Amino acid sequence: MRKSLFTRYVTVFMLIIFIAFSILSLVLGSNMSITMLDNMSKTCGDTAENVSHLIETILKPESAEAFNQTMSAEKDKFAIYIQHVAEISDNVRIFVIDRDGNILLSGNKYETGTFASSGIDGKALESLRSGIEIKGYDNMNGALTDRFLYCGAPILTEAGDEAVGAVFACSSADGLNAMIGSMIKTMLLTSLWVFLAALVAVYFLSERVIGPLKDMSRAAKSYATGNFDIRIPVRGNDEVAELASAFNQMATGLQNLENMRSSFLANVSHDLKTPMTTISGFIDAIISGAIPQENVNEYLERIKSEVLRLSRLVRQLLDLSRIQAGDRKFEPTVFDICETARQIVLSFEQKIDEKKLDVEFNCDEERMKVVADKDAIHQILYNLCDNAVKFSKDGGKYRLDITQKDKKIHVSVYNEGQGIMSEDLPFIFERFYKSDKSRGLDKTGVGLGLYIAKTIIDAHGESIVARSEYGKYCQFEFTLQCADNKRAFIDKTAPKD
């Protein structure tokens, strides 16, 4: 069964918390146990040493026999002191024993007996006989019936050359076990609350991250069906919000592209159908004799015009196909851009006269050589000049300027007319885009000319820009390399290995 991202996210997060708290519990429990054992050991050791030192100071025993006799005689006196020390030492159990392990005196309600039967008779008693302090952690039988920590201090003769007995101080581990148990319960309860709080936090956090991903998944499925209307809600300003915003921008771009493609198909269908219908009608009329013989040439000229119109459309479609496939190559040559511009302007003489345009042609010099693909630049400039004439108002200014700035040739085509609306200006170089969507002025274009021009200029490593004020003017300007900088163009257009 496939696990969701949310399930895996929560599982991993909970596992990390569980492992972290387990390690923390082990470390704290171990450190706490060691600290408490050290404190208990120090208390027992100090108590045993203090009682041993007191007995040595008071009795000053000369031998084991003398020590046993004196302790029996002074038992009551020492019993009161031992009981007092046991009470103020957090109920430490104190035993005074002889060399054979017999209990001579005890405190804290323990009767006398044979301490050797407690399980501390082996190495511990041998060490005490040798005058060595001992400590341990064992399970006593008889007088003490639970686990305990013990410390022993020998009682030496006045000369200090023999151990005549020993003092044992013992502390039960009940308090330690109870405290560790309480700590474990507290940590378990704390871990449970932290788990619950973390679960809630992870739920909302993962929902904050995964929610937009689910929305994007649903939106992507909708986009696959051609519906680009769905948008992802953008909340906050973090990475998820940036992703949602980028996703919405992508959807908007796809929607715009789809709209332009639809418009393109409609335009192409119209532009193919109209001239073919016109050509077919005129040819049928000529063949049937419906057109007088003296008017045949006129109608043949119209057929030629429509054929050229179809040729331009097919050429643009082929250019688009080659550009998208990356098959169009550019060959740099040196040519006079001023002469090319003059020829193009002259080719529009009839159209210019029909609109009575005020033409200006300005060049910084008579001849200005550039290095570029001549045919491609001719195509761009012809398209820009054609658009300028087409969209100029009657009697408006029509100007072509060629200037040089910092080893760059700037070619500008300006016309007075309707211009381009500000909201359309950022998109005019996109493929299939037509600012004249009503086809009121542009009845022959399909929105590819400027896209192809931009692609060609980009391939040359140059730039093209459009400026316009709606209802007043429109201006297109692109740059080319001067002929003395031919190496730069060749480097930019050379195929990469």
DSSP letters of 22-35? Answer: HHHHHHHHHHHHHH
Give pLDDT, residue 197: 82
Q: How far is CA 243 from CA 151, 207, 220, 228, 249, in A?
A: 69, 15, 14, 17, 10
Element (H, E) at 415: strand 408-416
Q: What gap in Å lies between CA 289 and CA 126, rounded to an integer?
A: 143
Q: What pTM was estimated for this model as a whole?
A: 0.46
Query: What is the arithmetic mean of pLDDT over 24-44?
Result: 77
Percent of the chain residues past pLDDT 90, beyond the cut: 15
pLDDT value, residue 491: 52
Q: Which residues lie across from 147 on neighbouring strands?
A: 139
Greater confidence (46 vs 411) lies with 411
**Whole-number pLDDT of residue 438:** 43
User: Region 226-238: what's the mean pLDDT?
Assistant: 76
335 forms beta bridges with 370
pLDDT at residue 496 in the model: 47
Percent of all residues in the chain with a pLDDT value above 70, rounded to a whole number: 76
Residue 18 near residue 24 (C-beta atoms within 8 A): no
**What are the two backbone dihedrals, phi and then psi, of residue 134, each rounded to the nearest 5 degrees?**
-130, 160
Give the Cα separation of 416 and 396 in Å (integer). 5
- Residues 6 or more apart whose Cβ sits within 8 Å of residue 151: 41, 44, 45, 47, 48, 133, 134, 135, 168, 169, 170
Where are any strands of DSSP class E within 337-396? Answer: 358-363, 369-372
Query: What was the pLDDT predicted at 110?
Result: 40
Query: How much is the pLDDT for 160?
Result: 74
Average pLDDT for 412-437: 81
> In the chain, helix, strand, coil percent, each to 5?
55, 20, 25
CA distances from 366 to 412, 478, 490 (A): 16, 19, 26
Q: Find, among 259, 244, 315, the residue nearest to 427 by Cα.
A: 259
SS3 193: helix
CA distance 413 to 62: 128
384 φ, ψ (degrees, to nearest 5): -65, -45
Residue 261 near residue 432, CB atoms below 8 Å: yes
| Both structure tokens of 268 | 């192409």
Residue 66 CA, distance from chain mean position = 86
Q: How far apart are CA 72 and CA 79, in angstroms?
A: 11
Q: Which residues contact 467 (CB under 8 A, 6 or more apart)?
A: 474, 475, 476, 477
